[in-house]
């Protein structure tokens, strides 16, 4: 069994409106992993174009996501921060993995079904193939751990299936070329903490999402204190006071969501938050949640704002990150081409 150096990879799409779900479900987890792992964090712009993007807005969004990484505390000197389209090996490996992945596997992907909806025949081929590109993103670095929100679990399972099939399909070549019995590690999803699925503030059964038509459904990282307060005050709740035990949150999706957000922002468990707020009504809880959210989120938004005012600085970070990423990706691609039987 080949030994793999623990390596973290994850990405965020530059599609505008970065929100509290992206922040708590992904970006804060990215920050935490920096102390224990070598990390590669990517602005996945090739994923963004699976739905139409206005080029000028895309460029601004790439810089905005990079700024969010930096503002949240990702260290681009110690770790690697870059945008996907600058490292061509992502797309190159995706093609090879397209020939490994099975159509039946992709047909099961629920995110595609949700995003394509009734207009299935009219969406891009890229939207359908998105999970294979995501597998390539991870496997081109032979990453072992992938921090993501709950919504990406199925895609991660697909990446593991693709890695495993490649390892099996080419087992003889992999062994003959000195890679032992496994070329790609099976990447482990890291779906952790009390906010792996932050829900819409308007409907506790729907994921908080960038593309929700209502801005009141989400807290954007760029929202100011007044906007955050207004959105939380208007957030849907139920008439009961908060329960004292975690079991009391079952069948109360809105209460569960707000308690989860509070817990994640304070780095506590939901049970712990309920020890403080159990029996209290929502208006008292919402006041504390507003204070906490403003305290934790607005400094990130302000730092992002400052960083995006210097696009040349951000572009330089992305370029340097891409140069470092490319070295690792090229190493994998050389080995993949030898395994596959290409002449190089
Ligand atoms: N609501 C969420 N709760 C927890 N984690 C979330 N993530 C996204 N939404 C939530 C996690 O954020 C990371 C980056 O996501 P992305 O931007 O690459 O893709 P996405 O999941 O498509 O984001 P949105 O906001 O849901 O966009 P739309 O509206 O286009 O569908 C991922 O780790 C994701 O799990």
Ligand 1 pocket mutation, candidates 41, 114, 210, 213, criterion most atoms within 8 A of CB: 210
| pLDDT tens readout for residues 244-277 | 999 999 999 999 999 999 999 999 999 999 999 9
In this structure, the answer to whether residues 78 and 176 fall within a common structural domain is yes
Q: What are phi and psi of 39, to 5 degrees?
A: -125, 145
231 and 177 fall within a common domain: no
- Is the CB of residue 15 below 6 angstroms from any atom belonging to ligand 1? yes
Does some domain include residue 207?
Answer: no
- Whether 208 maps to a domain, the answer reads no
Q: Using the mean position of ligand 1's atoms as its centre, give its distance from the Cα of residue 90 in Å.
A: 20
d(CA 135, CA 123): 21
193 pLDDT tier (thresholds 50, 70, 90)? confident
Ligand 1 pocket member 14 (CB < 6 A): no
Query: Cα dist. 273→239, 259, 279, 340 in Å?
Result: 19, 7, 12, 53
Both 74 and 174 in one domain: the answer is yes
* Residue 1: per-residue pLDDT: 47
Arithmetic mean of pLDDT over the chain = 96
Helix or strand run (H / E) with residue 145: strand 145-147
Domain count, the chain: 2
Mutate to test the pocket of ligand 1, among 9, 10, 26, 217 (most ligand atoms within 8 A of CB): 26
- Binned at pLDDT 50, 70 and 90, residue 206 comes out as very high
In short, whether 194's Cβ falls inside 6 Å of ligand 1 is no
- Tell me whether residue 45 is in a domain: yes
At 18 the pLDDT is: 96
Which atom of ligand 1 is least distant from the CA of 148?
Answer: 33
The answer to whether 28 touches 296, Cβ cutoff 8 Å, is no
The CATH number assigned to the domain holding 283 equals 1.10.240.10
Decide if 15 is inside a domain. yes
* Ligand 1 proximity of 220 Cβ (cutoff 6 Å): no
Are residues 174 and 219 located together in one domain of the fold? Answer: no
Catalytic residues: 115, 207, 210
Q: Is the pLDDT of residue 2 over 60?
A: no
291 and 320 assigned to the same domain: no
Nearest CA to ligand 1 atom 26: 209
Percentage of the chain beyond pLDDT 90 is 96
Task: Output the residue whose Cα is nearest ligand 1's atom 31.
Answer: 209
Q: Range of 298's domain? A: 215-306
Identify whether residues 140 and 246 lie together within a single domain.
no
Task: Report CA(335)–ligand 1 centroid distance (Å).
Answer: 32
| pLDDT above 90 for 17 | no
In a domain, 224, yes or no: yes
**pLDDT at residue 56 above 50?**
yes
Mean pLDDT of 274-302: 97
Q: What is the pLDDT of residue 194?
A: 87
Residue 3: the pLDDT is: 73
Distance CA 258, CA 41 (A): 28
Side-by-side strand order, sheet with 80-83: 80-83, 38-43, 7-12, 145-147, 188-190
Q: Are residues 65 and 183 in the same domain?
A: yes
| Cα distance between residue 182 and residue 211, in whole Å | 39
Whether residues 91 and 162 fall in one domain: yes
Substitution candidate for ligand 1 out of 11, 25, 156, 265 with most atoms within 8 A of CB: 25
**Pocket flag, ligand 1, residue 219 (CB < 6 Å):** no
Give the Å distance between the CA of 180 and the centre of ligand 1. Answer: 36
Query: What is the CATH classification number for the domain harbouring 117?
Result: 3.40.50.620
Considering the domain architecture, whether residues 124 and 164 belong to the same structural domain is answered as yes
Query: Tens of pLDDT along 67-90?
Result: 999 999 999 999 999 999 999 999
Whether residue 25 is predicted with pLDDT greater than 70 in this model: the reply is: yes
pLDDT of 297 reads 97
Both 24 and 158 in a single domain?
yes
pLDDT digits (tens, 9 = 90+) for 130-146: 999 999 999 999 999 99
- Pair 293, 320 in one domain: no
Is the Cβ atom of 22 under 6 angstroms away from ligand 1? yes
- On whether both 51 and 83 belong to a single domain, the answer is yes
Reported as a pLDDT band with limits 50, 70 and 90, residue 16 is confident
pLDDT above 90 (res 96): yes
207 lines ligand 1 (CB under 6 A): yes
**CA–centroid distance, residue 21 to ligand 1 (Å):** 7
Instruction: Classify strands 188-190 and 7-12 as parallel, antiparallel or unpaired.
Output: unpaired
Residue 222 near ligand 1, beta carbon < 6 Å = no
């Amino acid at each position: 069994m080949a030994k793999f150096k623990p390596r973290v990879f994850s990405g965020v799409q530059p599609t505008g409106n970065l929100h509290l779900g992206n922040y708590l479900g992904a970006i804060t987890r990215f920050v935490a992993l920096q102390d224990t792992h070598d990390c590669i964090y990517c602005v996945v712009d090739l994923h963004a174009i699976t739905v139409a993007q206005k080029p000028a807005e895309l460029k601004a969004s790439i810089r905005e996501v990079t700024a969010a990484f930096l503002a949240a505390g990702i260290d681009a000197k110690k770790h690697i921060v870059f945008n996907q389209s600058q490292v061509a090996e992502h797309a190159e490996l995706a093609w090879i993995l397209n020939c490994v992945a099975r159509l039946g596997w992709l047909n099961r992907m629920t995110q595609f079904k949700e995003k394509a909806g009734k207009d299935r025949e009219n969406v891009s081929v890229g939207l359908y193939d998105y999970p294979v590109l995501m597998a390539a993103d991870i496997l081109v670095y032979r990453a072992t751990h992938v921090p993501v929100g709950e919504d990406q679990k199925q895609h991660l399972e697909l990446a593991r299936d693709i890695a495993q099939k490649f390892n099996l399909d080419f087992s003889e070549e992999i062994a003959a070329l000195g890679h032992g019995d496994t070329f790609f590690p099976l990447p482990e999803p890291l779906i952790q903490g009390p906010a792996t699925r932050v829900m819409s503030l308007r409907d506790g059964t729907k994921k908080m999402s960038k593309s929700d038509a209502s801005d009141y459904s989400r807290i954007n990282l760029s929202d100011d204190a007044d906007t955050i307060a207004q959105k939380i005050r208007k957030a849907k709740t139920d008439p009961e006071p908060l329960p004292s035990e975690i079991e009391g949150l079952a069948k109360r999706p809105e209460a569960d969501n707000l308690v989860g957000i509070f817990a994640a922002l304070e780095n506590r468990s939901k049970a712990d938050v309920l020890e403080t707020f159990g029996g209290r009504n929502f208006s008292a809880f919402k006041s504390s949640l507003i204070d906490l959210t403003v305290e934790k989120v607005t400094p990130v938004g302000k730092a992002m704002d400052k960083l995006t005012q210097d696009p040349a600085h951000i572009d330089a970070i992305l370029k340097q990150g891409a140069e470092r990423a490319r070295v690792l990706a090229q190493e994998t691609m050389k080995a993949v081409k030898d395994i596959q039987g290409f002449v190089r």
